[in-house]
Chains A and B, each alone.
Chain A
Amino acid sequence: SAVISQKPSRDICQRGTSLTIQCQVDSQVTMMFWYRQQPGQSLTLIATANQGSEATYESGFVIDKFPISRPNLTFSTLTVSNMSPEDSSIYLCSVGEGSYEQYFGPGTRLTVT
Chain B
Amino acid sequence: EDQVTQSPEALRLQEGESSSLNCSYTVSGLRGLFWYRQDPGKGPEFLFTLYSAGEEKEKERLKATLTKKESFLHITAPKPEDSATYLCAVRQSGSARQLTFGSGTQLTVLP
A and B: interacting chains = yes
Interface residues of A (CB under 8 A from B): 1, 4, 31, 33, 41-45, 48, 58, 92, 94, 96, 99-107, 109
- What residues make up the interface of B, taking CB atoms closer than 8 Å to A? 31-32, 34, 36, 41-46, 49, 87, 89, 91, 96-104
Q: Which of A4, A48, A101, A107 has the most CB of B within 10 A?
A: A101
Determine whether the beta carbon of B34 is less than 8 Å from that of A101: yes
4 A-B pairs with least C-beta separation = A104-B43, A100-B32, A96-B97, A43-B101
A76 to chain B, nearest CB (A): 15
A-B contact count (CB 8 A): 57
What CA separation (Å) do A109 and B40 show in the bound complex? 11
Decide: A48 near B49, CB < 8 A? Known: A42-B87, A42-B103.
Answer: no
CA A101 to CA B99, docked complex, whole Å? 9
Q: Closest residue to B98 on the A side, CB-wise?
A: A45
Q: How far is the CA of A11 from the CA of B100 in the complex (A)?
A: 27
Contact B42 A41 (CB under 8 A): no
A41 touches B103 (CB 8 A): yes
Distance in angstroms from B35 CB to nearest chain A CB is 10
B98→A33 contact, CB < 8 A = yes
Are B44 and A104 closer than 8 Å at their CB atoms? Answer: yes
Give min CB distance, B72 to chain A, whole Å. 18
In whole angstroms, what is the CA distance A107 to B46 when docked? 15
**B101 contacts A106, C-beta separation under 8 Å:** no
